[in-house]
């Protein structure tokens, strides 16, 4: 349970979602077995919805892990769409390449290995849709670098922004997580006040923030 919603609500929502099949079910099993964090089912469905609605041609992801969310997004885009995804861990990069290479989306997903803050500063492309799912304590830095690469009318989706409910109440904060919680609170305040952008925070999964760049 994420601690964002009551368990019965979370379970009910998940009963309504389409059942995962093929590579997606395999990756979910792998993530569960080896305790690798991937997007929660309701967040995966939100990504599908947003991408089908916005029809982005270029997508950037910060935090590849095993390639699960990149494949979710690839499945939801048109054939002309491209995804660039960044991952700092070499073992995750190897696993993501292995997983993606088995699918029909392999020619539409490019993985860049390295530290996101360095890579984001060097990218030249512009993107219609950006998904942040990496080190939560660095979201402010990631966001400010990403908006330089975001097209007008583009969307940034930031995952895990309520961080097991700790961001919303001090009653849940674990001592060793105080710095991350403080930074996430600053981040959420910032994206709701920055000129030229409209944001919304959803109590879905572990908390999702949507930010739209106004045209």
Binning pLDDT at 50, 70 and 90, where does residue 24 land?
A: very high
Q: Examine residue 45 and state whether it is found in any structural domain, yes or no.
A: yes
Q: What is the largest CA-CA distance in the chain?
A: 47
CATH of the domain at 25: 3.40.50.150
Of the candidates 124, 115, 114, 112, the residue with the CA atom closest to the CA atom of residue 149: 124
CA atoms within 13 A on the CB side of 179: 4
Let me know: does 126 contact 149? Beta carbons within 8 Å. yes
Q: What average pLDDT does the chain have?
A: 96
Q: Examine residue 133 and state whether it is found in any structural domain, yes or no.
A: yes
96, exposed or middle or buried, with CB in 10 Å at 0-12, 13-18, 19+?
buried
Q: In this structure, what DSSP letter does residue 25 have?
A: H
Contacts of 180 (CB under 8 A, 6+ apart): 136, 137, 163
Task: Look up the domain containing 177 and give its range.
Answer: 7-213
Q: Examine residue 1 and state whether it is found in any structural domain, yes or no.
A: no
The whole-number average pLDDT for the span 184-191 is 98
The whole-number average pLDDT for the span 34-38 is 96
Binning pLDDT at 50, 70 and 90, where does residue 1 land?
A: low
Contacts of 124 (CB under 8 A, 6+ apart): none
Tokens 């077995």: give the residue.
33
| Three-state DSSP class for residue 18 | coil
Look at the chain and report how many structural domains it folds into.
Answer: 1
What confidence tens digit (pLDDT) does each residue in 40-77 have? 999 999 999 999 999 999 999 999 999 999 999 999 99
Backbone torsions φ then ψ of 67, nearest 5 degrees: 90, 5
Q: Examine residue 74 and state whether it is found in any structural domain, yes or no.
A: yes
Whether the pTM exceeds 0.75: the reply is yes
In angstroms, the CA 172 to CA 189 distance is 19
Determine the pLDDT at residue 66: 98
Q: How far is CA 55 from CA 10, 128, 173, in A?
A: 28, 9, 38
What confidence tens digit (pLDDT) does each residue in 131-156 have? 999 999 999 999 999 999 999 999 99
Residue 199 has pLDDT above 60, yes or no: yes
Q: Examine residue 71 and state whether it is found in any structural domain, yes or no.
A: yes
Q: Examine residue 2 and state whether it is found in any structural domain, yes or no.
A: no
The whole-number average pLDDT for the span 117-131 is 97
Determine the pLDDT at residue 79: 87
In angstroms, the CA 70 to CA 82 distance is 10
Determine the pLDDT at residue 56: 98
What confidence tens digit (pLDDT) does each residue in 148-183 have? 999 999 999 999 999 999 999 999 999 999 999 999
Q: Examine residue 60 and state whether it is found in any structural domain, yes or no.
A: yes
Residue 9 has pLDDT above 90, yes or no: yes
The whole-number average pLDDT for the span 116-125 is 96
């Amino acid at each position: 349970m994420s601690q964002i919603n009551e368990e019965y609500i979370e379970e009910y929502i998940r009963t309504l979602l389409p059942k995962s099949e093929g590579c997606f079910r395999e990756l979910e099993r792998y993530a569960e077995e080896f305790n690798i964090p991937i997007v929660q089912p309701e967040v995966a469905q939100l990504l599908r919805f947003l991408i089908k609605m916005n029809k982005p041609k270029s997508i950037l992801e910060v935090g590849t892990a095993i390639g699960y969310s990149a494949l979710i997004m690839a499945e939801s885009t048109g054939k002309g769409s491209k995804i660039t995804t960044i991952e700092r861990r070499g073992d995750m990069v190897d696993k993501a390449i292995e997983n993606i290479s088995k699918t029909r989306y392999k020619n539409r997903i490019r993985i860049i290995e390295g530290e996101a803050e360095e890579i984001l500063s060097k990218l030249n492309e512009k993107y219609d849709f950006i998904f942040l799912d990496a080190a939560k304590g660095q979201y402010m830095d990631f966001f400010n670098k990403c908006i330089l690469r975001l097209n007008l009318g583009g969307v940034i989706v930031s995952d895990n922004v309520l961080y097991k409910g700790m961001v919303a109440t001090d009653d849940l904060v674990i001592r060793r997580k105080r710095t991350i919680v403080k930074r996430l609170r600053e981040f959420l305040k910032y994206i709701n006040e920055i000129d030229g952008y409209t944001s919304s925070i959803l109590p879905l999964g572990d908390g999702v923030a949507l930010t739209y760049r106004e045209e």
